[in-house]
Structure 1
């Protein structure tokens, strides 16, 4: 009888161990399946978010391009109207009217060229994943040269200043073409809207993150509060001058990304507009 009880206990023990093993195995696989489902759901959500972001970028890009083309079309229609008027052999134009109209035509042609050139730059660089950083740039000399090349657009009575904390022999490796386009676009934006006061460029080295920080301050019209967060992404729907500025700022955003930095409007600056951007500042051996 004792042997039978012992055998029965062994059988019950084995059955209990088997049941426990089956239960633990089922629990393990249940948790694995939950993780798989959760991971699958997270992957679906990630893909959905990525898809919606891509759709939003595509929509904004389409709006951006349409806005540019519409403005170019408007400028072209205006130019064609004047040209047809001047081509009329029976049209007699006084010299003073001809002079004013000629200046207007030159301005409109320059605006059309600025729109087309800016659009081509954005289309060329906006989708690039990266650019080579092989150019050795002497920062102070480079900034001063770009500043000087923009002086013909400066309004009478406006002062320009260049302030740097870098030694004159401070050198970095970057993409000179992108940096030139970036700096030039920002300076032209400041000069366009500053009729008195100053346009000041400052540059410092941020050694904690290995970047150069540029600040362009002006005493111009400033940017409305409700548009400060959109100036680098959307074109305004008003004047051609503002659209050209919006196109230049969109170009700046593309260049800053390729140069490994960021750009923003300083909300604390109240005298006009302050644009702050950074770029990756590898040394000559970097």
Structure 2
């Protein structure tokens, strides 16, 4: 409205401005901000700018999320505080801000750990640049690298396992070469002597040595074949009625001839009648391996084989001895492949891992109770299926023990 000097309305002044360019520019900015926020949310990339002198700035939602902070929290309560960071990383960030104010730092680049609500930590890469043109300010970009870190750690574990497996296999091949060559040399050598000697006593002695080493060589080859079947997934099981008492009696009678002097091999006392559905051949294989190991490491005392039906509907077989025993920290290790507690004892380090696989495939569990110098008790349990006509469902073969790590 336009008025004269006396206050009377004399005219109207109309002004219009074309703000198309301004509106379009504002729309493009809004569109860009929306697109940046969308990309940042999916890529987990955050952006922030903060004026350290005026204590003002702005940040995207992803930036807050990557630092474990709520989006409605003022930036001034986050920058310079970073309460959700791991104490070591928080110390490094605060040291950067101290150096920044003294003019000794222009950028910060570090992967930090951010506390999750469940108490664990995510990984966030933080890259911050300092601007000193007009006022002291920082521009920060961060992005969540948790999945990359997990992948990196998985690759490191896989690399370490592969290296360990390579070392174990190399040691296994060297050990296997020695183990096979030893009985072969004995068989060849004493077979030649057997053909040349006429003394009956010497012939019996040489024949016994040849027989003993032939049995050892056969066991080595059997272990290798069983290992191949396990890795190929072709291990077969044949289920039928098993008389536990008769089975254990047969094993004890057949193994007594190999028993070292000064050691007695017997059945446990008070064993009850026990019939169940199982694979007789595989159970025999496991118990025979237990007794063979006990005979290797027991110089005096006894080796005792027994079984018992437990309240949880399982039958527990065990072989206890008065041998040298096993340290507590190595009791789990002996069920891994290629592990030998005594390098001077014959064997490939495959027997117990094969037994573990067989028992688990039959639906049972295996273990050892032992104390160094006091003896050991190797045991395994199987489902007690008395009177069932159908064979139990086999469990899937577990990965080779030598390829596993404690985290697995």
TM-score under structure 2 normalisation? 0.52
| 8 Å contact kept, 2:289–2:352 | yes
Q: Does 1:159 align with 2:261?
A: no
Runs of 5+ in structure 1 lacking a partner? Answer: none
More strand by share: 2
Instruction: Give the alignment of 1:1-286 within 5 angstroms.
Output: 14=27, 17-18=30-31, 20-31=33-44, 34=143, 38-40=146-148, 42-43=150-151, 45-88=153-196, 94-125=199-230, 127-129=231-233, 135-138=239-242, 141=243, 143-150=244-251, 151-154=253-256, 155=259, 157-161=264-268, 168=274, 171-172=276-277, 175-190=279-294, 193-194=297-298, 195-205=300-310, 207=312, 212=314, 214-225=316-327, 228-232=331-335, 233=337, 234-235=339-340, 236-240=342-346, 243=347, 246-267=349-370, 271-279=374-382, 284=388
More helix by share: 1
CA distance in structure 1 between the aligned counterparts of 2:31 and 2:367, rounded to whole angstroms: 66
SS in 2 for 1:231: helix
| 8 Å contact kept, 2:194–2:206 | no
Runs of 5+ in structure 2 lacking a partner? Answer: 1-13, 47-142, 393-408
SS in 2 for 1:253: helix
Larger radius of gyration: 2
Q: CA deviation at 1:62?
A: 4.3
Deviates more, 1:9-18 or 1:183-192: 9-18
Cα distance 1:184–1:137, how it changes in 2: closer, same or farther (>3 A)?
Answer: farther
| 8 Å contact kept, 1:131–1:175 | no
Deviations 1:20-59, CA, capped at 9 Å, x for gaps: 4244224324417956x64355335434533542453354
| 8 Å contact kept, 2:302–2:321 | yes
Cα distance 1:13–1:204, how it changes in 2: closer, same or farther (>3 A)?
Answer: farther
**Bigger relative contact order, structure 1 or 2, given CA contacts below 8 A and separation 6+?**
1
CA distance in structure 2 between the aligned counterparts of 1:135 and 1:67, rounded to whole angstroms: 35
SS in 1 for 2:44: helix
Alpha carbon RMSD of aligned pairs, Å?
A: 4.2
Structure 1 partner of 2:94: none
